[in-house]
């Protein structure tokens, strides 16, 4: 198109070749090839050079649009290659959206505003499967099992807390020991077959020879804390859950031999070289380096 435009504007193959810094015969061959591809003549040779045919004039009217689209396509490809445009699909879970994940996404959005972020509320097993199927680029979860094709990086470590109804006698204590919860009605989450927080709590009770009374087993932290607020029982949860300021709920630090901190992890395909993913991981790593 650029060669055609030069000839159309100069109406002389020799001058057009000089303008394009190329020899005339290759330029002539290129124009003939274009005419063959379109099946029409674009120029008529004259004594002074060349004149546009009706087909040539029709094509000339579209050339600026074609070149503009070509430039835009090249620019878009370059931006995508640098991880500046595109889409980041993120697997999240209920407790994770209470603090750290929104902060990370906000930092990434500020640095890469042209990248569209899609959020998908998925369980741990669903996130791993969605990564393998390339439906998400990155996921966030806790206690992620080792998988050959999935890389896992720690985002932060959260302390364990005990969520109590404000009328519970244990609210008078500054720190609640795991032994204080022996025989107490407990609300466990998430209720899922894959190893998670509920299984860690059960193991901690077993390690200390305590009686775990599972009053309710629910799927998410919001339901769990709502049941605490309603007086159904206490719950062992994570630091981020304290952002759920439901009326009637108080939080106390937990003292336990086993339950000290829990990691929030970022998981992604191990050999994914996507520039967008690499840009996002830079934000995650920078956040991890900031003291909390």
**pLDDT value of residue 259:** 94
Task: Give the H or E element holding residue 150.
Answer: strand 150-165
Query: So what's the pLDDT on residue 289?
Result: 65
Question: Model confidence over 117-140: pLDDT tens digits?
Answer: 999 999 899 999 999 999 999 999
Low-confidence residues of the chain, pLDDT below 50? Answer: none
- Output the pLDDT for position 292: 54
> CA 98 to CA 241: how far, in whole Å?
7
115 touches 84 (CB < 8 A): yes
Q: What is the reported pTM?
A: 0.69
Q: Which fold has domain 2-81?
A: Arc Repressor Mutant, subunit A (1.10.10)
The domains spanning 2-81 and 86-292 adopt the same CATH topology: no
For residue 85, the model assigns a pLDDT of 72
pLDDT of residue 82: 67
86-292: CATH topology is D-Maltodextrin-Binding Protein; domain 2 (3.40.190)
Domain range list for the chain: 2-81, 86-292
What is the Cα–Cα distance from 233 to 229, expressed in whole angstroms? 9
Cβ neighbours, 10 Å, residue 287: 17
* pLDDT for residue 70: 82
Q: What is the pLDDT of residue 21?
A: 94
* pLDDT attached to residue 46: 87
User: Cα dist. 177→184, 205, 259, 263 in Å?
Assistant: 12, 11, 10, 21
Residue 256 and residue 160 in contact, taking contact as beta carbons nearer than 8 Å: yes
pLDDT of residue 75: 75
**Residue-level pLDDT at 240:** 87
pLDDT at residue 207, rounded to an integer: 95
């Amino acid at each position: 198109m650029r060669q055609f435009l030069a000839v159309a504007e100069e109406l002389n193959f020799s001058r057009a070749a000089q303008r394009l810094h190329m020899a005339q015969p290759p330029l002539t061959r290129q124009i003939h090839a274009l005419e063959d591809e379109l099946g029409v003549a674009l120029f008529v040779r004259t004594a002074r050079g060349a004149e546009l045919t009706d087909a040539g004039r029709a094509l000339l009217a579209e050339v600026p649009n074609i070149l503009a689209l070509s430039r835009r396509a090249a620019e878009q490809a370059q931006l995508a290659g640098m991880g500046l445009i595109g889409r980041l699909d993120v697997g999240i879970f209920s407790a994770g959206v209470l603090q750290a994940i929104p902060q990370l996404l906000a930092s990434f959005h500020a640095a890469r505003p042209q990248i569209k972020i899609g959020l998908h509320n998925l369980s741990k097993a669903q996130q791993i499967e969605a990564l393998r199927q390339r439906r998400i680029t990155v996921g966030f979860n806790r206690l992620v099992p080792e998988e050959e094709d999935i890389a896992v990086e720690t985002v932060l470590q959260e302390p364990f807390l005990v969520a109590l109804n404000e009328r519970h006698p244990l609210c008078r204590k500054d720190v609640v020991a795991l032994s204080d919860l022996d025989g107490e009605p407990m609300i466990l989450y998430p209720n899922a077959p894959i190893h998670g927080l509920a299984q860690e709590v059960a193991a901690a009770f077993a390690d200390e020879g305590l009686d775990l009374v599972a009053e309710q087993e629910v799927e998410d932290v919001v339901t769990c804390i709502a049941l605490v607020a309603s007086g159904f029982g206490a719950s062992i949860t994570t630091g981020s859950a304290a952002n759920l300021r439901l009326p009637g709920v108080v939080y106390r630090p937990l003292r336990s031999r086993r339950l000290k901190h829990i990691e929030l992890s970022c998981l992604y395909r191990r050999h994914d070289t996507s520039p967008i993913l690499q840009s996002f991981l830079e934000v995650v790593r920078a956040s991890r380096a900031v003291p909390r």
